[in-house]
Structure 1
Amino acid sequence: MKSGAERTEIVRRSLRVTLASATGFYVFVYGLDEPVPALYALFAPISLGLLSPIPGSGRQRATVMLRALPVGLLLVTLGTVLAVETWAAVLGMLVVGFLLAYAAVAGPRPAGAAPGLQLFYILACFPPYAPQTLGLRLAGLTVGVGLLALCELFLLPRPAGETYRNSLARAVATAGDLLAGRTAGLPPEELRAHGARLRLSNVPPAERPAGPGRAARALSQAGSAARRLLEQLAHLTETGQLEQLLRGEARTDGRAGPKAGDRIDPASPWLLPRVASLCGDCAEALRRGRAADKPQRLDEAIGAFQRMRVRQVAGRAAEVPTPVPVPVLRRQAALLAIAESVRVLEISVQVGLDGRRTPPIEPRELFWYTEASTARLWLRRFLGNMTLRSVEFHNAVRIALALGAARLVAGSLDLTHGFWVLLAVLTLSRTTVGQTWAAIRAAVAGNLVGAVTAGALLIGVGQHTDAYAAILAPAMLLAFALGPLFGIVWAQALFTLVVATAFAQIAAASWQLAEARIVDVVTGSAIGLLCAMLAWPTGARREVRRTMAGLLRECGPLIEGTAQTLTALPPGSAPPPQTWPALHRLRLAESAYAQFRSEPAADASGADWHGLLIAVHQVLLGAQWLPRFDLPTSALPPDAARRALDDARATARTTDRLAALCTGERDGGRHPPDRPGAPVEEQAGDGPPLVEEQAGDGPPASRPPPPPLPTLIDLDVWLTSLASQLSRVEAGLPGTAGRHAP
């Protein structure tokens, strides 16, 4: 059910498209007596204004349309030239269809303009082969797009929404105020709500930082860091640790031996104000839209904080009058995670607002894009998705094959108005065969109703073009408004009436025009359904399983490699694990999950793919920052190091078992996770927590706590968090229901 604002925008859009289409059409047909440019002036606004879901305000949409105009002119030229032979037009359709559909990897705006650009080539690639009319075709297209852009700017334009930068500034300011003690008593639900508003699915498409450029990548990473920060604060609020940090509970009560008031945690009160101040600076920079002149990185402060923690547990007796309790060390680990989130946030905001290339920033795997050229960023985005594991690649191949087949059939059978065949394929194709069949049934029913109405109109009115001219504009207004409001049946029925009245003014037409449209739509529907059945018919349902399994298999080596780096002898002799393969597979898995969520009955499997992505983010975060800030300066106790390695191997085996379950292997998931139910301490790094994390039940009583060393405490917090997440995920995977609880 559409909201009132959505219904209002649909009506306004129908007014804009109708005015632009009718104006260009009437001027060329009745003012200049030029039917060829009239056809292009009619369909250009319909293609870009109605059939292309270009997001954004009126100004943003007009900008996208004007930028798409040169591409449209090129496609019309290409289609006009290749219309000489059916085989040439088919090959051109395959290439153009794939490239334009694959443009979705560049972000919402290119993806939104792609269907309209497809129609520009489709309209031009059909007979008659008339290269001498190319100038008239380009003129009509230019006039149509120009009129539509003017209407978007001045006729009831859609207002601009809040920018992602402002939403991010508000969320960061909330976190900074809470850390500085200026805001008290914020419930965890409110903090999570601030973070949820930064999820890309909750951001208007035009404002999403989804492009391949440096600024877009950096703002997306900043949003991830801000969401992670707010989730960390929400969790610490639930456990009471945040209140302890803010109150500075770092003194004993006198019952442990030393006199009351002895400070046992000078490190946290030293770091916390710096973290809060940097949050305020980031929020102010985002509001101004200008990066700080002198960025204040937290690298040195975090390093000093870690050295203070080490001195607390390994210093001389005179320096450590009171033993540091493990709960204090765990609270320090939580503050360290918050500081790392703010460090990533500050760097990302700086790059996002500045947009220029920078010297290498550590860890380079996390901030690789900051030093890359624009051409490399675009190339990486396109080549990175050029794989059978990419749903964007799936969709591009499917639509290219369907359009190519439709052009071949229409050309071989010499169908009248054959471009309607391709239009049906383009507008009715969906990502699953079930969705495609449902759309086709409604479209065929609507076209039958529309064809009967249009046939009766053509018989009754005959060749009186003035009557068709009077009917066209109101028919377009109704079709463009009622179709999106009431569904495919209304849209197809009314659009059939529109094309009948339009073509009757260009050339003599009879009731057979409506008959031809029925034949073309049914032909296009059959081709689209056949391609949907043959090419990935279940959409992302299977792909999300395969990509999640591949992602989990990359996590095991990261977990073991991180533990080996921290426990190596001598310290620092083992390099940190490489996260590139996991980062690449993570992007593919997130794309598959995004499409999976857009398909009907996405939750039928019961698997918590969102929670699995959270767990993988946890793996990547720890693998990136634990070796950077927790590398010990002296050898760890052998027994403790051995236990840590055993825990890491057990968690890695759990990821392998979950990978087997994702692909349906029968030997997967025979045993529960090796370290079930542990408290979640969210770690820092680069990866948005996609869902809110929950606390577990604590470590098993039989498992001895790690020695009070910062490295071992931080590693233990990371591994217990992973075990808790993986346990909850495993409980929902197929084949595990009822076997064990999380």
Structure 2
Amino acid sequence: MAERRSAQRRAQAVHRAVRVTLAASAGFYPLVYGLHRPEMALYALFAPVALGVLSPIPGSGRQRAAVILGSLPAGLCLVALGTALAGSTAAAAAGMLAVGFVLGFAAIAGPRAAGAAPGLQLFYILACFPPYAPETLWQRLAGLTLGTVLLALCERLVLPAARNPSYRSRLADASAAAARAAAEAADGTAPPDTAAALRASGLGLRPSHVPPAERPAGPWRTDRALAQAGAATRRLLEQLARLTEAPAERPASPRATAAADPSSAGLLRLVASGCAAAATSLRSGRPADEPDSLRRAVREFQDTRVRRTVARPAPDVPELRHQAAVLAIAGSAAIARTGVAVAVAGRRTPPIEPRELFWYADAPAARLWFRRLAGNTTLGSVMFQNAVRTAIGLGTARLVAGSLDLTHGFWVLLAVLTLGRTTAGETWSAVRPALAGTLVGALAAGVLLYGLGREPGAYAAVLAPAMLAAFSLGPLLGVAWAQGLFTLVVATAFAQLAPASWQLAEARIVDVLAGSAIGLLCGLVAWPAGARREVRRSMAALLRATAPLVPATVGAVLSEQPATVPAEATWHTRHRLRLAEAAYAQYRSEPDDPARPSTDWHAVLLTAQHVLIGAHQLPRHERTGSGVPPPAADWARANADRLADATRRAADRCDGRTATAPSGTAGVRLPPGGPALPVLVDLEQWLDGLAEDLRRIAPAERPGDRST
């Protein structure tokens, strides 16, 4: 498997190098030697390099071509802006600061926008340096347009990358698997390996297992709905897996249990029907029936359950726990099906319940964007941090290059752009081989320039093979090879645009050295630890926001009147959850740190989601807590307070305030001899699940433990 992935990686690198080389050559050579337009040729060359090599645009050939063409209007505006500001170092640096931040912050729009940002930044960088020549603007824009269109055509037609399965198809497969499992659980015919298969299906929906181009990470309604449906489906699959694993306290066979509890079997069959309808809707693109029938069935199931318990002199506690698990499954299925309905049908005018979860279903696009922008405009957002770090580095580099009047000063900014990383240590690890590679490449370029002299035809013969080698070997062999070979590319390209000597290679070394120093300095000053420190802070803040929801949920369930958890509290937790998810995603992309504590950050996210779902569902399921004896209510509140305290202690461990694992995470069970009421069993199951989540966050320290 590893050899296969390595072969695929090599093939992808070579195919991309062929596409970029072909697009760059098709624009550069005719403009230089046919039309004699060096300014136009420069932009026709760098447009494919910027968007094809420096921009990690994810997706298939069709998807990348669409992103490349969609970036063209922004690229034209940036070239025009850079050309207008090139006459003043201060103005160009200020523009670079603004452009660097805006394009860096574009990551909030999703992986495709984030992938195109480096190339767009290069367009401004290339245009904002002297000479100040506004009369050449039309040539620059024409060259940029030609190079971009040629690259889009090559991405689409020349060795195009295959498309990965879409998130919709993955979600449809997972929904179909849930439908089969729910039907088998209803009939008591689930095979022994069902739990493992269900968990494997759930893994396919985890963001880290989904290619970037297919992740529903944007602020749009469809992306939000797909992401919510995916999270609910993952939770549904895990709940079904647990249901199929026969508990020790229920000795009866699954078939006998299904026959003895027809109401649970009926609800599971309705869950199966709803999941199958969701899978069909995702595959066909046509809206399915409204999921209100499942919500009505949940209310009827709970009412029947309460009446049966009251009528029985001695309720069957294992049966009530089984029903609690089925009720939770139905709740997850209802959320997943509603999310699918919103994703397929688009904007929904009537409010969808629970309103707190589906607030976006009828919100205008402007409000969705505002929420995403406002939610990330904070020092706790890694996207904001990265945008600020990039803007400061590029702005400083433009100011230094202009003030020192460095030859080919845009190479300084290019070094900052390509060598900057999210941590200072990672930046230093990239800078060292980059400087070595640049030095070797500059020496080779100097020899080449000295040996070939002023023979444009010789440089023309070298340029295309040099690009093919640089763009294929660089990604495979590392930063040193990439920088060294790219030095040869720029030397042979500029030697055809204007007379050049070996001093061009010298300028390249000086500029890369200056850019590396600036990038390192910014990395040391602005969030040097990257997401490592931020993930600890954000996870701790998430747990602290989650803790008050536990007693608030229990209080709402036990209230004599129908009540819900305050919307402000759940909104604050959801906001913290989004920031923590972003920090965790970046954290997983950074190198491992053996010294970090053995904390399961993914378990922290699951804990918050577990509490949020319970805060929304439990008060609605139970309707009212009347009839619960005061001692039993005190038991529930005491366990809620205990687990809320344990959640806060887990937060203290996350941000380093304590090194010990949180205490108070023992399981929750009904007191012996107490009343076995459905409301108490449901709270027991929910609180016991929270205790299990907290134990998973910080397991006992063992040699060789590593965080996930």
The range that moved more, 62-71 or 207-216, is 207-216
**TM-fit CA distance, 1:459:** 0.5
Check if 1:347 corresponds to 2:338: yes
Classify the secondary structure of the residue corresponding to 1:366: coil
Aligned pair in 2 of structure 1 residues 427, 297: CA closer, same or farther (>3 Å)? farther
Check if 1:571 corresponds to 2:574: no
Check if 1:17 corresponds to 2:25: no
Aligned to 2:278: 282
Cα distance in 2 between the residues matched to 1:84 and 1:267: 77
Residue identity in the other structure for 1:715: L
Alignment of 1:439-458 (within 5 A): 439-458=430-449
User: Retained in 1: the 8 A contact 2:17–2:472?
Assistant: yes
Listed as ranges, the gaps of 5+ residues in structure 2 are none
Alignment of 1:296-695 (within 5 A): 296-315=292-311, 320=312, 323-568=314-559, 570-572=560-562, 576=566, 578-602=569-593, 604-632=596-624, 634-666=626-658, 673-677=663-667
Aligned to 1:186: 193
Which residue among 676, 690, 693 is the counterpart of 1:722? Answer: 690
Cα distance in 2 between the residues matched to 1:147 and 1:528: 32
Which residue among 7, 11, 14 is the counterpart of 2:10? Answer: 7
Classify the secondary structure of the residue corresponding to 1:463: coil
**TM-fit CA distance, 1:307:** 0.1
Can you list the C-alpha shifts for 1:581-633, whole angstroms capped at 9, x where unaligned? 00000110111111112111246321111112222221111111111111326
Check if 1:292 corresponds to 2:260: no
Cα distance in 2 between the residues matched to 1:101 and 1:648: 42
Cα distance in 1 between the residues matched to 2:612 and 2:523: 36
Aligned to 1:682: none
Aligned pair in 2 of structure 1 residues 486, 709: CA closer, same or farther (>3 Å)? same
User: Retained in 2: the 8 A contact 1:503–1:509?
Assistant: yes
Classify the secondary structure of the residue corresponding to 1:474: helix
Classify the secondary structure of the residue corresponding to 1:66: helix
Cα distance in 2 between the residues matched to 1:587 and 1:561: 21
Aligned pair in 2 of structure 1 residues 243, 410: CA closer, same or farther (>3 Å)? farther
User: Retained in 2: the 8 A contact 1:55–1:108?
Assistant: yes
Cα distance in 1 between the residues matched to 2:190 and 2:266: 20
Cα distance in 1 between the residues matched to 2:179 and 2:211: 25
**TM-fit CA distance, 1:705:** 6.8
Classify the secondary structure of the residue corresponding to 1:731: coil
**TM-fit CA distance, 1:673:** 2.9
**TM-fit CA distance, 1:245:** 8.8
Aligned to 1:175: 178
The range that moved more, 2-11 or 511-520, is 2-11
The range that moved more, 721-730 or 392-401, is 721-730
Residue identity in the other structure for 2:221: R
Check if 1:56 corresponds to 2:32: no
Check if 1:208 corresponds to 2:215: yes
Check if 1:273 corresponds to 2:263: no
Cα distance in 1 between the residues matched to 2:17 and 2:649: 53
User: Retained in 2: the 8 A contact 1:221–1:345?
Assistant: yes
User: Retained in 2: the 8 A contact 1:451–1:514?
Assistant: yes
Aligned pair in 2 of structure 1 residues 329, 424: CA closer, same or farther (>3 Å)? same
Cα distance in 1 between the residues matched to 2:55 and 2:79: 17
Cα distance in 2 between the residues matched to 1:502 and 1:43: 10
The range that moved more, 299-308 or 281-290, is 281-290
Listed as ranges, the gaps of 5+ residues in structure 1 are 252-262, 679-698
Residue identity in the other structure for 1:216: D
Which residue among 226, 241, 248 is the counterpart of 1:219? Answer: 226
User: Retained in 2: the 8 A contact 1:706–1:713?
Assistant: no
**TM-fit CA distance, 1:674:** 2.5
Cα distance in 2 between the residues matched to 1:601 and 1:672: 24
Cα distance in 2 between the residues matched to 1:612 and 1:292: 34
User: Retained in 2: the 8 A contact 1:245–1:269?
Assistant: no
Aligned to 2:80: 77
Aligned to 2:117: 114
The range that moved more, 168-177 or 129-138, is 168-177
More helix by share: 2
Residue identity in the other structure for 2:614: G
User: Retained in 2: the 8 A contact 1:443–1:492?
Assistant: yes
Cα distance in 2 between the residues matched to 1:295 and 1:563: 27
Cα distance in 2 between the residues matched to 1:248 and 1:300: 27
Cα distance in 2 between the residues matched to 1:583 and 1:38: 50
Identity of aligned residues (%): 58
Residue identity in the other structure for 1:617: Q
Can you list the C-alpha shifts for 1:498-528, whole angstroms capped at 9, x where unaligned? 1000000000000000000000000000000
Residue identity in the other structure for 2:537: R
Check if 1:198 corresponds to 2:227: no
Cα distance in 2 between the residues matched to 1:169 and 1:233: 17
Alignment of 1:121-270 (within 5 A): 121-181=124-184, 184-240=191-247, 247=255, 249=257, 265-270=261-266
Residue identity in the other structure for 2:131: P
User: Retained in 1: the 8 A contact 2:649–2:662?
Assistant: no
Can you list the C-alpha shifts for 1:10-57, whole angstroms capped at 9, x where unaligned? 111101100110111111100100100100000000000011011111
Report the TM-score, using the length of structure 2 for normalisation. Answer: 0.95
**TM-fit CA distance, 1:194:** 0.8
Count of matched residue pairs: 694
Residue identity in the other structure for 2:503: Q
**TM-fit CA distance, 1:434:** 0.8
Alignment of 1:62-101 (within 5 A): 62-101=65-104
Residue identity in the other structure for 1:195: G
User: Retained in 1: the 8 A contact 2:470–2:486?
Assistant: yes
**TM-fit CA distance, 1:221:** 0.9
Kindly report the root-mean-square deviation, in angstroms, between the aligned alpha carbons of the 2 structures.
2.1
User: Retained in 2: the 8 A contact 1:357–1:373?
Assistant: no
Aligned pair in 2 of structure 1 residues 364, 737: CA closer, same or farther (>3 Å)? farther
Cα distance in 2 between the residues matched to 1:706 and 1:483: 69
Cα distance in 1 between the residues matched to 2:252 and 2:72: 59
**TM-fit CA distance, 1:162:** 1.2
The range that moved more, 655-664 or 484-493, is 655-664
Cα distance in 1 between the residues matched to 2:54 and 2:674: 61
Residue identity in the other structure for 1:673: S
